[in-house]
Structure 1
Amino acid sequence: MVQELLIDIDKAKNIPLNRQIYERIRKAILTGTLHTGDLIPPSRQLAGQLEISRSVVIQAYEQLQAEGYLIMKKGSGTFVADNAVLHLSQSKNELNRMKIDSNLNLIDCSSHETAKKDQFSVKYDFKHGVPAWDVVPMDQWQKSLVRTCRQATPDLLGYGPVEGSYALRKEIARLLRSSRSIPVEPEQIVITTGATQALDILARLFIKPGDQVIAEDPAHSFLHDIFHLSGAKVVPVPVDQQGLRVDQIDKLVMPQEQGTGPAKLAYVTPSHQFPTGVTLSLERRLELLDWAEREGAYIIEDDYDSEYRYVGKKVSALAGLDVSGRIVYVGSFSKILFPALRIGYAVLPHALVQPFLSIKQITDRMTPSVEQEALADFIRNGQYAKHVNQMGKLYAAKRSALVLALEREFGKRIRYYGDQAGLHLLIEINSNVCEEAVAARALHYGVRVYPAGCYFTGFKPDNPTFVLGYSNLCEEQIDVGIRRFAQAEIDCTSREVITA
């Protein structure tokens, strides 16, 4: 029977909601309010109870499962794990520092982080979406920063233009014309603090409460959060080997007479879909452009991981085909250089530039000017192109090492997707085990892997599926990490057999 879980969260607090849910459930387990084998509410039910996005609840459940507190069984539900008692015993000192109350208030996060570090020593982290930290060209970047600072004028050190540095916009336009086949001028580009800010502004610009937004399925869960904040209804459209199923859009969009607004926006990652890695075919691209023009809708093209392609010719951007001004192209430098740089950009049709700038000026006027000028210098002096070329070769070798290790350890039971480009693979293991259980077990071997089930909204794979990043691991680490990951899957398989 599902245990009733009374959780209070404070949406006004400067603490992420998924973190609040995580802490409350974890404390309920540690204090004995929840016991081994207790069935906790489904994520959809708890999300409805708390009036929040289901993805927020899923994130909390995933963290709890990764740390061994919960276990999810397909078709059965989510339970308090058998080894949760071990956590209780290991956390006695922490419990003595807690202020226990019946309302499951938040515990001190700093004590949790210490306990987590003590519990597992992660040596092989297959995190995706990050560059290789050890080869970031810091010497060249430092030289660009020094040159910029030495040449700094009062204008540069003051409040810069809301659209961003003209020098940087000029360099980005040049890059996009040559490498992405987009006929863009600097005046169409607005610098943002990463791609996420661009998406947030676009959501504010296009969406009214009740409007529908087309999104790929699977897709990153944070996209749903961004669009939901604007009051949109996200319409997941399935992805196959040719990318977004454009022919399914009209079938899935709800009629406006049912209380929803029109579908004004579609979000796609056509060059390297996340997380499947597929490329949107030319036929589908033309179909999507026809749909947008027919419906008076706009397309957000997130050019995810487009810089790195290892097989075949580099694919041009969808925006290069746009003749009707229906595409907003979004990019960033987080995966090329480093995320802390916080520089992204949006390429806008001329008619949208001023509306976009009006919102940006209110919400966040400017991205740091010195870093923008330094990045323009870095690109202008050829260091950016040199770095991308070097990293492409390095990542190709790491990708090959990952594929070989997976095939060696799993044999014909493994299927992988997206190996032609990008910085991660989506893998599917022919197995009956729970992917969250495998991830939790892998932590005992010092390996962190990332279940992919949370990215699927409609159709979900029958087998355990994972997103494995490889950019920040050397080939030896990849080899050892996959061997230990495979052992974790064997452990879970043996346990399933014994339980059955």
Structure 2
Amino acid sequence: MPASHLNQLIAALPLQRGASEPLFRQLYAAIKLAVLDGRMSPGMQLPPTRDFCRLLAVSRQTVLNAYALLTAEGYLDGAVGRGTFVSREVPAAVAAPATAAPGLLRPLSARGQGVVTAMRQVAFHRGPLRAFRVGMPRIDHFPFDVWNRLEARRRRRPDHQFGYGDPAGYLPLRELLCVYLKASRGVQCTPQQIVITSGSQQALFLLSTILLAPGDAAWMESPGYRGASGPLRAAGARVFPVPVDAQGLDVAYGVAHCPQAKLAYVTPSHQMPLGVSMSLPRRLALLAWAAHNKAWLVEDDYDSEYRYSGAPLASLQSLDRAGCVVYVGTLSKVLFPGLRLGYMVAPPALAEALVQAKAVMDRHTAIVPQMALADFIAEGHFGRHIRRTRDSNAERRDLLVRGLAHELGDQLACGPADSGLELCAYFRGDHDEEAVSRAGLARGIELRPLGHYADPAAGPECATPPGLLLGFAAIPPAEMAHGLQELGRILRGR
């Protein structure tokens, strides 16, 4: 390159004087980019530092510092008395100008593409809270002052437990959860069977990954929780939709049409989204099928704490005698979603494998929140919070049920409403779910169509009457009243 062209190139290097980034770092980045995109080719001699200073009006030390960094990283070669050159070791392929369009970059692997696309159909919360957002607990009811005090106390007393932890989780927390699950859900376990996860979503991904081979069949409730079918598909499983009726998962249908499945995902205590509970005959039939076929059952018990009529139902795991049920729980609905703490209760023979898989994924879940939660439970705050929140949820559930009956009884029929954070409501008239949902967003309310939870590959036997899933736990009374008014206007075409 002629000296005049090189001088023009150097003079044009972008430097922002007065910026927070030092000038030598800016100069380093600009020369590095010029080398990588081929404007400064391998072997090219750069001007002496004094000339470089004059062209850019910077100090010599700025140039020397930039040269030193570039030389250390292998972009420049130089010696006193010989000059400074672009290194000939920079591969020509790297130094050549990039001409490929972004769409022609190397594709993801088939497995990577499966992971990326698996959750595309899952709806995520966006924007401020509004009626009738589903899956949200009442966060303003949580005693954050107590929680912050517990976390601060732990941080003030760091000890050896602040290093790398047990992949299974903080042992005192697992011991406390063991006691709690036995008392509240009838779960039969030891602390060694419990694995703490970063939310139940991580638990579902781990289980899908280590229990299924690509092509294995897995039963999935339809309609059902799309956040569970995502990990199954990401693992390469063949998801087989099984219909749900008033007694829960139709086990006989699954046995008749896909008896060779290796896993079944179920929400037996409170089916998502229909709200029904699996009957005892169905539970026993499901356990018998799994034991006979050496299949796994993943029991997602995502909100069993919030049952408003009678005691919480016993878990499916409490009936398991063949070691085939993995119980998955979350603290997102009991405490707050941002905590990202969940857990698995595995059969003894599977527990160690899950611990090792967890270690591969992220070594262990953050330790301070686990410690704070252990203190939160041990000091009685956990039990008090559940009782207080259950009462609050019941009040808001009653408010929504009464509001639907009074304002929209001619338009909607309520489904089961004895547990959970939301309820389903079926259209009495001829309404398009998606059109109603879009109209709701335009009016500032969230209306989740029941069809969102249906598997697109499911047959007519999995069809659910059109309707909506309406969240109530996090919705203040005034916002709920506003949402009911807007929903009434939409359904009546006003």
TM-score range, shorter chain: 0.7 to 0.9
Q: Larger Rg: 1 or 2?
A: 2
Q: Cα distance, 1:464 vs. partner?
A: 3.4
- Give the 3-state SS of the residue equivalent to 1:354 in structure 2: helix
Is residue 377 of structure 2 the alignment partner of residue 379 of structure 1?
A: yes
Match of 1:480 among 472, 479, 482: 482
Q: Output the CA distance in 2 between the equivalents of 1:329 and 1:366.
A: 19
Match of 1:370 among 368, 371, 381: 368
Q: Cα distance, 1:363 vs. partner?
A: 1.4
Deviating beyond 4 angstroms after TM superposition, the runs of 4 or more aligned structure 1 residues are 8-13, 50-59, 460-463
Match of 1:126 among 116, 119, 132: 132
Match of 2:144 among 138, 142, 146: 138
Deviations 1:181-230 (A, max 9, x none): 11211011011100011111111111111100011111122222211111
Q: Output the CA distance in 1 between the equivalents of 2:114 and 2:183.
A: 47
Match of 1:238 among 227, 232, 243: 243
Alignment of 1:223-262 (within 5 A): 223-253=228-258, 262=260
Most deviating of 435-444 and 136-145: 435-444
Q: Output the CA distance in 2 between the equivalents of 1:213 and 1:132.
A: 34
Instruction: Quickly say closer, same or farther: Cα 1:230–1:314, change in 2 above 3 A.
Output: same
Specify the alignment match of 2:190 in structure 1.
Answer: 185
- Cα contact 1:273–1:304 (8 A) shared by 2: no
Specify the alignment match of 1:324 in structure 2.
Answer: 322
Question: Counterpart amino acid of 2:473?
Answer: S
Is residue 159 of structure 2 the alignment partner of residue 148 of structure 1?
A: no
Deviations 1:223-268 (A, max 9, x none): 22211111111111111111111111122217xxxxxxx4111110
Q: Output the CA distance in 1 between the equivalents of 2:200 and 2:409.
A: 38
Alignment of 1:13-412 (within 5 A): 124-153=130-159, 155-253=160-258, 262-412=260-410
Instruction: Quickly say closer, same or farther: Cα 1:468–1:228, change in 2 above 3 A.
Output: same
- Cα contact 1:401–1:479 (8 A) shared by 2: no
Normalising to structure 2: TM-score of the pair? 0.73
Q: Output the CA distance in 2 between the equivalents of 1:11 and 1:126.
A: 42
Q: Output the CA distance in 2 between the equivalents of 1:318 and 1:58.
A: 28
Instruction: Quickly say closer, same or farther: Cα 1:146–1:215, change in 2 above 3 A.
Output: same
Instruction: Quickly say closer, same or farther: Cα 1:297–1:145, change in 2 above 3 A.
Output: same
Q: Cα distance, 1:308 vs. partner?
A: 0.4
Q: Cα distance, 1:444 vs. partner?
A: 3.1
Question: Counterpart amino acid of 2:184?
Answer: S
- Give the 3-state SS of the residue equivalent to 1:131 in structure 2: coil
Q: Output the CA distance in 1 between the equivalents of 2:216 and 2:443.
A: 46
Q: Output the CA distance in 2 between the equivalents of 1:9 and 1:485.
A: 47
Q: Output the CA distance in 1 between the equivalents of 2:490 and 2:139.
A: 27
Question: Counterpart amino acid of 2:237?
Answer: A
Q: CA RMSD in A?
A: 2.6
Alignment of 1:393-432 (within 5 A): 393-432=391-430
Q: Output the CA distance in 1 between the equivalents of 2:115 and 2:369.
A: 37
Instruction: Quickly say closer, same or farther: Cα 1:315–1:51, change in 2 above 3 A.
Output: closer
Specify the alignment match of 1:38 in structure 2.
Answer: none
Q: Could you tell me which runs of 5 or more consecutive residues in structure 2 were left unpaired when the two chains were aligned.
A: 1-102
Instruction: Quickly say closer, same or farther: Cα 1:369–1:416, change in 2 above 3 A.
Output: same
- Cα contact 1:192–1:346 (8 A) shared by 2: yes
Instruction: Quickly say closer, same or farther: Cα 1:240–1:54, change in 2 above 3 A.
Output: farther
Instruction: Quickly say closer, same or farther: Cα 1:56–1:382, change in 2 above 3 A.
Output: closer
Normalising to structure 1: TM-score of the pair? 0.72
Q: Output the CA distance in 2 between the equivalents of 1:303 and 1:345.
A: 11
Instruction: Quickly say closer, same or farther: Cα 1:432–1:51, change in 2 above 3 A.
Output: farther
Q: Output the CA distance in 1 between the equivalents of 2:119 and 2:418.
A: 31
Counting matched residue pairs gives 385
- Cα contact 1:277–1:419 (8 A) shared by 2: yes
Q: Cα distance, 1:124 vs. partner?
A: 3.2
Deviations 1:355-384 (A, max 9, x none): 112211111111111110110000000000
Specify the alignment match of 1:102 in structure 2.
Answer: none
Specify the alignment match of 1:470 in structure 2.
Answer: 472
Question: Counterpart amino acid of 1:176?
Answer: L
- Cα contact 1:409–1:486 (8 A) shared by 2: yes
- Give the 3-state SS of the residue equivalent to 2:189 in structure 1: coil
Q: Report sequence identity in percent.
A: 36
Question: Counterpart amino acid of 1:129?
Answer: G
- Give the 3-state SS of the residue equivalent to 1:387 in structure 2: helix
- Give the 3-state SS of the residue equivalent to 2:492 in structure 1: helix
- Give the 3-state SS of the residue equivalent to 1:164 in structure 2: coil
Question: Counterpart amino acid of 2:343?
Answer: Y
Q: Could you tell me which runs of 5 or more consecutive residues in structure 1 were left unpaired when the two chains were aligned.
A: 1-7, 18-49, 67-112, 255-261, 495-500
Q: Output the CA distance in 2 between the equivalents of 1:239 and 1:159.
A: 44
